[in-house]
Copies of this chain bind each other. A is one copy, B any other.
Amino acid sequence: MKKTTIHDIARELNITFSTVAKALNDHPRIAAATKEAVREMAIKLNYQQNKLASSLRSGRTGIVGVLVPTLDVSFFSSVVHGIETVMNENGYNILLYQSKEIYEDEIRGVDTFLQTRVEGIISSVALSTKNYDHFIDLKKRKIPLLMFDRTVDEIGVPYVRIDDYGGGFMATEHLIKQGCKRIVHISTDQQVEIFKERLRGYKEALLKYGLPIDESLIFYGNLSIELGKNCIKKLVDEKVDFDGVFAFEDYTGLGALKELKDLKINVPEQVKVIAFANEAFGAHITPSMSTVDQQTVKMGEEAARLFLKLIKENKYYENAPEQIILDPILIQRESSQ
């Protein structure tokens, strides 16, 4: 069963294939009756336009490559959800590639997109990537590239992320306003910009409210529930005085919360806790955990919208790269009130 082409439709109707093509594309100079007949026959013959041929000829594929570390982290899948939704509304389709946080796979993804002739790429960079030539190369080839969340200034392309500094500041300020004087910050030793920014926000908030920056209250480890637990254990073991905890992300905050509960330290009465990310579980645990929301779906939607706006103007790289910084949202729950 060969697939139906415009030639098949043309033969059935005794017209030429080029008339069929124009009719299907709603060309103005084709008679209404012809269009009608062509459309009917197209349906009758189960015609489906061959986008490969159309794209090859026209130079437009209507495909955008989305390159993310993994879909198995709700942050990324939510962003991709937002991207696909907006792109789809605007007639674009998404080719998906996961880098698995591996530099070489990221390069492979970019190459695949190039070969597929995507009209642009939306990406968040892998943690292991230190060299950005594959992204800079896209810019040289004039392929629109837009980054989100894990952005890299050196690449010099438009991007969308949240204000991690502001989020860190906001979280810390919230604890201070709730009366905390000795606030612990649990961070990470991974060299990722966004986590450093949260730390910077923490420090600035302390400064602004005249509280000392006490390095013995700042911890660095690997993102995990265990990290949160261990930090609390250590603080209590060493009889360090503290009345607030700002964890750099939710799982670490959860660990802190669990350990405090195990040690019968009341939250929020004795120690107030806030984290970062607004993962699904935070609203449902006891006590519910305060956090900072990253507007993940909106980040994807905004990324798609900015991308569409810029390619429509047809001068993607001609102006200084536009950047959207989304506001983090303070989510106040039981753990900090």
Which B residue sits closest to A70, measured CB to CB?
Answer: B81
Q: Identify which of B48, B98, B100 contacts A114 (C-beta below 8 A).
A: B48
Residue contact A53 to B51, C-beta cutoff 8 Å: no
- Which of B71, B115, B283 is A80 in contact with, Cβ under 8 Å? B71
Query: For residue A281, which residues in chain B have a CB less than 8 angstroms away from its CB?
Result: 280-281, 283-285
Task: State whether B81 touches A98 (Cβ < 8 A).
Answer: yes
Given known A-B contacts A96-B84, A286-B286, A297 and B78 have beta carbons under 8 A apart: no
A72 contacts the other chain (Cβ, under 8 Å)? yes
In chain A, positions 43-72 with a C-beta closer than 8 Å to chain B are 46, 48-53, 55-56, 61, 63, 66, 70-72
Q: How many copies does the complex hold?
A: 2
Q: Chain B contacts of A112 at CB under 8 A?
A: 93
Q: Within 8 Å CB of A55, what residues of B?
A: 52
Per-residue B-contact encoding for A100-127, CB less than 8 Å = 1, 0 else: 1000000000011011110000000000
Point out the residue from B46, B53, B66, B77 that lies within 8 Å of A77, measured CB to CB.
B77
Chain B: minimal CB distance from A139 (Å): 12
In the assembly, what is the distance between CA of A96 and CA of B93, in Å? Answer: 7
Complex formed: what's the CA distance from A286 to B260 in Å? 14
Produce 1/0 per residue, A243-281, CB < 8 A to B. Answer: 000000000001000100000000000000000000111
Residues of A within 8 A of B (CB): 1, 46, 48-53, 55-56, 61, 63, 66, 70-72, 74, 77-78, 80-81, 84-85, 88, 93-98, 100, 111-112, 114-117, 137, 141-142, 254, 258, 279-281, 283-286, 297
Show 15 residue pairs from A and B whose CB-CB distance is below 8 angstroms, ordered by the A residue. A1-B142, A48-B111, A51-B117, A56-B56, A71-B81, A72-B78, A80-B96, A81-B98, A84-B96, A88-B97, A93-B112, A94-B96, A254-B284, A279-B280, A284-B284
- Extra A-B contacts (19), CB below 8 Å, given A70-B81, A93-B112: A48-B111, A48-B114, A52-B55, A52-B61, A66-B96, A71-B77, A72-B81, A77-B77, A77-B80, A77-B81, A85-B98, A85-B100, A88-B97, A94-B95, A94-B96, A95-B96, A96-B96, A279-B280, A280-B281
